[in-house]
Each structure stands twice: as structure tokens, then as C-alpha cells.
Amino acid sequence: MSKQEELRKLQFTGKSSFIVSLPKEWVRDHGLKQGDQVAVGRNGSSILEIKPMSVSKPSNQESATITITNNDNDASILRKLIALYFLHYQTIHIQPKGDRITPSQRNTIRSAVKNVLMGAELTSDSTEGITIQVLINLVGLSVDGAFKRMLHLAKSMQDDVLLALKEGNVELAQQVIDSDDDVDRFGFYIIRQLTIGIENEHMLEEMGFSSSRDCLGYRVIVKNIERLADHAERMAKDVIEFKKPINEKTFDRLKELSDYTLKLIDDACLAMFKQDTGEAEQTISNVSKIAKLEKKVFDTIKPSHKEEEIYRIRKIVENLRRISEYASDIGEVVLNTNIEKMIKKK
């Protein structure tokens, strides 16, 4: 029996009920009183868990109000909306300080609800004020599930932009740029859920985290996947700007480099899901091999190449190199969050 455990006698009352008393200190710590409800559930075949109702359900902020003026630019309004979304408010009211909300501001808010804030809906929309309701089902989409979808989208963006580079396909490049909003939506959703988990011990356990510090590590990993998508977007803008395909020989080497960076990302994320420090260390080590693949790309550049094309190739290689660095960053997070477990096992 651990130091925190106490022996309690099981008592029989009435015709069919068994009761056991709760430690007074535990009741006081949770601010409980006679008549309050607690949730009782089985954990395995021999363990019962007792939780106050205050932690058995997620605690959600109710509502917040933003007052905007005609001088507030669209970016400022968007930042405020995202901040309140992260703080898990369920209802967000936007009111004008002057006569009305401008058409540009209304379009920004509508676009944010549609393309940025997952689970949000407009319940009131007029020049006199807008109300946003966040209707997220906390059980329907887990943090891990959202992350896997986010990762798949970001990797698809990179594959698509390589094809756009090969063909000089402006339309496909624009689709890649549009997909960045979807990646951001999953990222914002995950951050919102992590914020809830940090403030609610029960939700933290439901998400599969052993401590709030693990949430911070997960947040860093999510940010790296957002950056992966950002680099795909930058390469797509290159296609739109120059409207020319990359020469075939150089493209083949770029594709080889791109595929390797995505493999590094895959390996790092797999190490995260498995909490495997060995695989994380191996991924970090493998990042150094990226230099050889970069050299193979640059070896395809000939004196006959125009300065414009050399500039494009160097920019694309730089974007791909940064992606490999994000894989290393994810590996570092896996090591940092699991180092204590390694020590305890030893």
C-alpha cells in the first residue's frame, strides 16, 4: 500500500447497498459538500475511480465580447478571434464601437468561421453585430485524430507542389495555397483542445497525456507541421510567379530530396506516437544525410542555366532543408518528453 492510500472498511446498508467513506481531506481539497455528486467508474477489473463532477466534465468558458472600431484592420480582428478560440470560449460576440461593422470586417469574420475556426458557426450576422458559436464535439475528433489528418494534408500539399513544379501548373499551385487554411484549422483545433486539457486533469487523461508538460511538447510538434505546410505554400507561390516548369533532370533530384524529407517527418511523428526515443534519435541522426541529396540537386546546375532558374532551385532546396530540420525538432521533443520515463525504467 502506498503512502497516499488509506484502509477503509466496507459497510452494508439497506438491503443491497455497500458504502465506503471518503477521506475528509480529499473532499475538502475538491470543495465538496454533503449532497454534491461524484462520478464513479470502473478502471479495469479491480479498480474504481471516483471523480468530482467538476472534473468529470470539461469546463468551458461561456461567452466573450469583442468591440471593434472602423480603424481595426482585418488582421487584428482575426488575431483576437483566434485568441478567444484558443481560450475555449463557446460564444463570441463581435460588436461595433461606432455605427456598424464594415463590409471588409464582416467578410474577415465570415472567412475565419468558415476556413479557420473548426467547429464554429455564425448564429447572428448583421452590421450591428455578429455572434459566433463554437459547437465542437470533444469526443468526436481526438487530438491524435486531428493531428493525423493535419499531417496527411500537409504532406499532400508538398507532393502536389512538387507536381506543380514539374509541370509549371499554376492551377494546382493555387490549390496547394488554398489547402494551407485547412491545415491551420486542424492546428487551431488541436491547440484549443490542449488548452482545455491543461486546465482539466480529467480531459488531460482522456487525451492520453500524463502531464501538462506533454501538452506543451505536442504544441511544438503541431507548430512544426504548420510550418511544413507553410513551406509547401511558398513553393507554390514560386510556380505562380515564374509559371515555368523545373527542368526534368533537376526535378528528379528535387523529388528525391522532397521524398526523403517527408520520410523524416513520418519517422519523427511515428516515434512520437510510439513514444520511442530510439526511433527519435535515429531520425535526428538521419537528418544529416540531407546534405548529400542537396549536393545531387546542385550538381545538375550547368553554366548554361539562367540566373532565374538557379535562384528558383536554391529557394526550393532551402524550403526542403527547413522541413528536414522540423523533423529533427520533433525528434528532440520526443526525447525531452520521454527522458524521465527512460530514467525510471533504468
Which range has the worst mean pLDDT, 33-42, 67-76, 278-287?
33-42
Residues 242 and 106 in one domain: no
Task: Give the count of domains, the chain.
Answer: 3
Q: Give the Cα separation of 228 and 330 in Å (integer).
A: 12
Instruction: Render pLDDT for 201-253 as a digit per residue (tens, 0 to 9).
Output: 777 777 777 777 788 889 999 999 999 999 999 999 999 999 989 999 999 99
Q: Per the confidence metrics, is the pTM higher than 0.85?
A: no
Residues 249 and 114 in one domain: no
With contact defined as beta carbons under 8 Å apart, do 91 and 131 qualify?
yes
**Residue 4 pLDDT:** 58
Q: Give the Cα separation of 341 and 59 in Å (integer).
A: 30
* Domain C-terminal end among 114, 134, 154: 134
Encode 113-146: b = buried (16+ Cβ within 10 Å), e = exposed.
Answer: beebbbbbeeeebeeeebbbebebebeebebeeb
Stronger pLDDT, 198 or 329, i.e. the higher one: 329
Q: Give the Cα separation of 40 and 17 in Å (integer).
A: 15
* Of 126, 122, 323, nearest in space to 232 by CA: 323
Residues 42 and 89 in one domain: no
* Of 204, 318, 217, nearest in space to 271 by CA: 217
With contact defined as beta carbons under 8 Å apart, do 279 and 265 qualify?
no
* Domain C-terminal end among 98, 115, 134: 134
Q: Residue 303 pLDDT more than 90?
A: no
Stronger pLDDT, 324 or 196, i.e. the higher one: 324
Cα angle, residue 193 at apex, residues 191 and 194 outer, rounded to 5° = 65
Residues 233 and 282 in one domain: yes
Residue 94 lies in a domain: yes
Residue 16 lies in a domain: yes
pLDDT band at 61 (very low <50, low <70, confident <90, very high): low
Instruction: Render pLDDT for 171-211 as a digit per residue (tens, 0 to 9).
Output: 999 999 999 988 999 999 999 888 888 877 777 777 777 77
> What domain range is 113 assigned to?
61-134
* Domain C-terminal end among 91, 110, 134: 134
Q: Residue 141 pLDDT more than 80?
A: no
Residues 295 and 170 in one domain: yes
